[in-house]
Amino acid sequence: MSYASTAGHDEHHDHPTGILRWLTTTNHKDIGTMYLIFSLIMFMVGGLMILAVRVELFQPGMQLMQPDFYNQLIGVHALVMIFAALMPAATGFANWMLPLQLGAPDMALPRLNNWGFWLLPPAAILLTLPFTLALFGIGDGAIATGWTFYAPLSVQGGIGVDFAIFAVHILGISSVMGSINVIVTIFNMRAPGMTLMKMPMFAWGWLITAFLLIATIPVLAGAVTMLLTDRHFGTHFFNAAGGGDPILFQHLFWFFGHPEVYILLLPVWGFMPQILQTFARKPMYGYKAQVYSFWGIGILSVVVWAHHFFTVGMPVPALIYFMFSTMAISVPLAVLFFCWIATMWRGSMTFETPMLFAVGWIILFGIGGLTGLVLADVAADAQYHHTYFVVAHFHYTLFAGGIMGIMAGVYYWLPKMTGHMYNENLGKLHFWLTAISFNLTFIPQFFLGLAGMPRRIPDYALQFADFNAVSTVAALVLGLSQLLFIYNIVSCARGGKKATDRVWEGSDGLEWTLPSPPPYHSFTEQPVIK
Amino acid sequence: MAALTRIEERQEANRRLGLKLLWLVGGSILFAVSLVPLYDVFCTVTGLNGKTQNTAAQSVAVVDENRWVKIEFTSSVMPGLSWNFHPQQNSIMVRPGKIETVLFEARNMTNQVVAGQAVPSVSPGSANNYLKKIECFCFVRQELQPGETKLMPLRFYVSPDLPEKVEAITLSYAFFSAVKKAEQGERAAF
């Protein structure tokens, strides 16, 4: 097999420059960069929203905003963070790194890739536009139901709900297209000799994520479409008076919503062992065990959804089934934790910023997992349901487990992507500020939840005041310290110490065989894996 | 030349796999849509979620004279419907198999003709399939003239097969404002 005559392929292309380059690009690195920048922007947008919420919660009583606006902020914060920050960040990494790690010249379906990205900005605008429209007296603001769209509240809501429904449709189409692209790339574009069980772990994480997205996003799309027809076309899917059932919505939503958690986390679980092995300077422990755990978690994730609404009034056998199946997920997850720790065990570790984030991530995500186990207990859940305990729990999984994981990936691959080393001291400062202020923000919320403070309520009883004040101050520090992150990324992109091809002493994988930054077209001749 | 063909071949293979995955997406959409009827069937068969049958049941001749079951009635009116609505008795003791009649009183507090739809729910859910209604005001939607008061009957019996451990059943009715364009008690789509 000869690929020799494709080597001169590059020169025939005329790349458009300026904005047209980015609008029309089908290059996986360009698209990956756009995904990551979009994600970073939306991370700041979603962060600003929740900081406004935290400032309102600084003291009991209403100071800054009306309750309805408060409700809009919390719902759009979640939708923005999940669909416009965390998912695009993972897709950005998939675009940048999958072809490099698999030894492929590009993603399999480049034009679909371009389309997948350019659907995101309109969706983000749809999601946030109602805030602006309300300023001009059109409608009553954004979706105020929380991100879960629960009927019948969402059936009664204003135009913000319609905007959010269409935004979710568009975001869903974008994710499904991205998933198809990832699956085809992984199945068809691997370097000769790279069997599925020799694939980098990141590819495995994304493969399962992609299948979960294809299986569950249509269910969400169907649920919000039914909501739309309930709102405007006289159907009664979720209206008891017309023979429908509001509980049906919760089932449909969480049939998507629970796998979504693993959709957000699996890509991180994929690249995290790669970071750990790089800085522990020894091979990943338990590759096969991790792959099988991924499959186990992927499959279990679609059969446990009802643990999100234990208190809705389910028969006891259903409660018991959902409790035990949920707890069963902790078995493969514990295998993963064991493998991560064993990868570091007796390694010659150094703690550059990516490794700091990785180790911090294991501990904090561990807390998220363990508190999840508490919530999975039906008897305990009756006490914790819809309190700040839940809020703290899912921020340990999604901020620590998701976003801090993504940050580890950013610091790990940034020298590869830009060709420059970032500022190590600033990176470490960013980690410590983030980790400490994150804990100070959310540990008080565990206690608030235990004491019975309900989530999604803009005011609270006096006895919760001290914990809320601590949480708000820490949240502001957490928000501000992300400016360091942005500064570090921007200055790294603009210049700095030249990065070597391998960047890290212990790095292993095809992406590190290319120059930093990699050429615009890489692996036009596929490497052969022995 | 041979290499170019190879690239084209691969693009073709990618397109084929992409289209196959599109079928998978189609399957997921179909699954999402079918979840709605599946949910209904599941709830009706198992009696979960307090969904009672919405059609008249036949009576049985056997009456269990050795057992009392307490039936409690609760009522509520949902926002958007300005009615007074309550049962004339809060609870009755019944013999399983014996047909009983309970009257519910509804009063339209407005000066307009208003239609409402009662939605029943049974607790405990496991007793759901043993509560048999022969006649119920919840089978059809009810229309009240301005200021009208209406006595609405519920005729029912408790199946003698009711598990021994169930000693009391609560039957709750929520009156909703009858929805626009809706034929009562059925979905407009699917």
What CATH number is associated with residue B83? 2.60.370.10
Q: Do B142 and B108 belong together in one domain?
A: yes
**pLDDT on residue A410:** 97
Q: Do B85 and B37 belong together in one domain?
A: no
Q: Do B131 and B101 belong together in one domain?
A: yes
Domain range for B148 = 50-177
**pLDDT on residue A399:** 97
Using a CB-CB distance cutoff of 8 angstroms, which residues of chain A are in contact with residue B22?
Answer: 180
| B61–chain A nearest CA distance, Å | 31
| A319–chain B nearest CA distance, Å | 13
pLDDT average, residue stretch B153-177: 89
Q: Is B45 on the interface with A (CB under 8 A)?
A: no
Q: Could you tell me which chain B residue has the CA closest to the CA of A229? A: B189
3-state secondary structure of A426: helix
CB atoms within 10 A of CB A416: 23
**pLDDT on residue B40:** 82
Tell me how far apart the alpha carbons of residues A153 and A169 are, in angstroms, rounded to a whole number: 20
Interface subset of B 10-39, CB within 8 angstroms of A: 10, 13-15, 17-18, 21-22, 24-25, 28-29, 31-33, 35-36, 39
Q: Is A351 on the interface with B (CB under 8 A)?
A: no
Number of domains in chain B: 2
pLDDT average, residue stretch B139-167: 89
Using the beta-carbon criterion (under 8 Å), do A108 and B14 form an inter-chain contact? yes
Q: Do B54 and B144 belong together in one domain?
A: yes
Query: Is the residue at B120 inside a domain?
Result: yes
- Percent above pLDDT 90 for chain A: 86
Query: Is the residue at B189 inside a domain?
Result: no
Question: Does position B182 have pLDDT exceeding 60, yes or no?
Answer: no
Question: Does position A248 have pLDDT exceeding 60, yes or no?
Answer: yes
**pLDDT on residue B50:** 59
CB B81 within 8 A of CB B175: yes
Q: Choose from B1, B8, B23, B35 for mutation: most chain A CBs within 10 A.
A: B35
Mean pLDDT of chain A, nearest integer? 93
Query: Is the residue at B184 inside a domain?
Result: no
**pLDDT on residue B188:** 38
For the stretch A168-221, pLDDT in tens is 999 999 999 999 999 999 999 999 999 999 999 999 999 999 999 999 999 999
Using a CB-CB distance cutoff of 8 angstroms, which residues of chain A are in contact with residue B17?
Answer: 108, 183-184, 187-188
Q: Is B61 on the interface with A (CB under 8 A)?
A: no
Q: Could you tell me which chain A residue has the CA closest to the CA of B139? A: A243
Question: Does position B116 have pLDDT exceeding 60, yes or no?
Answer: yes
Question: A443 Cβ partners below 8 Å, 6+ apart?
Answer: A392
CB A236 within 8 A of CB B187: yes
pLDDT average, residue stretch B122-143: 85
Question: A19 Cβ partners below 8 Å, 6+ apart?
Answer: none
pTM of the model: 0.88
Q: Is A304 on the interface with B (CB under 8 A)?
A: no
Using a CB-CB distance cutoff of 8 angstroms, which residues of chain B are in contact with residue A216?
Answer: 28
E strand residue ranges, A36-85: none
Q: Choose from B11, B16, B36 for mutation: most chain A CBs within 10 A.
A: B36
Q: Is A428 on the interface with B (CB under 8 A)?
A: no
Residues in chain B: 190
**Residues facing residue B61 across a β-bridge:** none
Tell me how far apart the alpha carbons of residues B172 and B17 are, in angstroms, rounded to a whole number: 53
Query: Is the residue at B134 inside a domain?
Result: yes
Of B126 and A431, more confident:
A431
Q: Which residue has the tokens 């947008």?
A: A45
CA distances to A265, A267, A295, A388, B85 from A206, rounded to whole Å, are: 10, 5, 11, 31, 56
Using the beta-carbon criterion (under 8 Å), do A3 and B187 form an inter-chain contact? no
**Residues facing residue A296 across a β-bridge:** none
- Percent above pLDDT 70 for chain A: 97
Using the beta-carbon criterion (under 8 Å), do B119 and A176 form an inter-chain contact? no
Using a CB-CB distance cutoff of 8 angstroms, which residues of chain B are in contact with residue A3?
Answer: 3, 6
Q: Could you tell me which chain A residue has the CA closest to the CA of B120? A: A240
Q: Could you tell me which chain B residue has the CA closest to the CA of A236? A: B187
Tell me how far apart the alpha carbons of residues A38 and A118 are, in angstroms, rounded to a whole number: 10
Q: Choose from A230, A248, A526 for mutation: most chain B CBs within 10 A.
A: A248
Q: Do B58 and B23 belong together in one domain?
A: no
Per-residue confidence band for A40, with pLDDT thresholds at 50, 70 and 90: very high
Q: Do B163 and B89 belong together in one domain?
A: yes
Q: Do B76 and B132 belong together in one domain?
A: yes
Q: What is the DSSP string of A267-295?
A: HHHHHHHHHHHHHHTSPPS-HHHHHHHHH
Q: Is B172 on the interface with A (CB under 8 A)?
A: no
B1, B17, B178 ranked by CB distance to A188: nearest: B17
Q: Do B32 and B105 belong together in one domain?
A: no
**Closest-CA residue to A188 (of B15, B56, B41):** B15
Using the beta-carbon criterion (under 8 Å), do A222 and B186 form an inter-chain contact? no
Using the beta-carbon criterion (under 8 Å), do A229 and B189 form an inter-chain contact? yes
Using the beta-carbon criterion (under 8 Å), do B18 and A226 form an inter-chain contact? no
pLDDT average, residue stretch B158-171: 89
Using the beta-carbon criterion (under 8 Å), do A214 and B1 form an inter-chain contact? no
**pLDDT on residue B78:** 85
B29, B48, B185 ranked by CB distance to A218: nearest: B29
For the stretch A358-373, pLDDT in tens is 999 999 999 999 999 9
Q: Do B60 and B128 belong together in one domain?
A: yes
CA A236 to chain centre: 33
Q: Do B8 and B78 belong together in one domain?
A: no
Per-residue confidence band for A42, with pLDDT thresholds at 50, 70 and 90: very high
Question: Does position A266 have pLDDT exceeding 50, yes or no?
Answer: yes
Q: Do B32 and B109 belong together in one domain?
A: no
CA A93 to chain centre: 11
Per-residue confidence band for A446, with pLDDT thresholds at 50, 70 and 90: very high
Q: Is B180 on the interface with A (CB under 8 A)?
A: yes
**pLDDT on residue B181:** 44
For the stretch A321-352, pLDDT in tens is 999 999 999 999 999 999 999 999 999 999 99
Q: Do B20 and B72 belong together in one domain?
A: no
Q: Which amino acid, one-letter code, is at B152?
A: M
ipTM entry: 0.83
A214, A226, A239 ranked by CB distance to B21: nearest: A214
Least confident of A392-406, B49-63, B90-104, B124-138: B49-63
Per-residue confidence band for B9, with pLDDT thresholds at 50, 70 and 90: confident
Q: Could you tell me which chain A residue has the CA closest to the CA of B138? A: A241
First to last CA, chain B: 55
Per-residue confidence band for A139, with pLDDT thresholds at 50, 70 and 90: confident
Question: Does position A489 have pLDDT exceeding 60, yes or no?
Answer: yes
**pLDDT on residue A17:** 80
| A181–chain B nearest CA distance, Å | 7
CB A348 within 8 A of CB A278: no
For the stretch A290-331, pLDDT in tens is 999 999 999 999 999 999 999 988 888 889 999 999 999 999
Q: Which residue has the tokens 């008795």?
A: B89
Number of H helices, E strands in chain B: 1, 9
Q: Which residue has the tokens 């451990």?
A: B165
**pLDDT on residue B47:** 65
Query: Is the residue at B187 inside a domain?
Result: no
Q: Is B93 on the interface with A (CB under 8 A)?
A: no
Q: What does the CA dihedral A153, A154, A160, A162 come to, rounded to 10 degrees?
A: -160
Using the beta-carbon criterion (under 8 Å), do B176 and A180 form an inter-chain contact? no
Using the beta-carbon criterion (under 8 Å), do B188 and A5 form an inter-chain contact? no
User: Which residue blocks in A396-520 are alpha helix, DSSP H?
Assistant: 405-418, 424-450, 465-494
Tell me how far apart the alpha carbons of residues A199 and A464 are, in angstroms, rounded to a whole number: 50
In the listed set B31, B46, B61, which residue is the last one of a domain according to the structure? B46
Residues in chain A: 530
Tell me how far apart the alpha carbons of residues A268 and A281 are, in angstroms, rounded to a whole number: 20
Q: Is A17 on the interface with B (CB under 8 A)?
A: no
**pLDDT on residue B61:** 67
Query: Is the residue at B59 inside a domain?
Result: yes
B21, B35, B117 ranked by CB distance to A183: nearest: B21
Query: Is the residue at B93 inside a domain?
Result: yes
Using the beta-carbon criterion (under 8 Å), do A222 and B13 form an inter-chain contact? no
**pLDDT on residue A12:** 47
Using the beta-carbon criterion (under 8 Å), do A218 and B32 form an inter-chain contact? yes
For the stretch A76-89, pLDDT in tens is 999 999 999 999 99
Query: Is the residue at B186 inside a domain?
Result: no
Q: Is B189 on the interface with A (CB under 8 A)?
A: yes
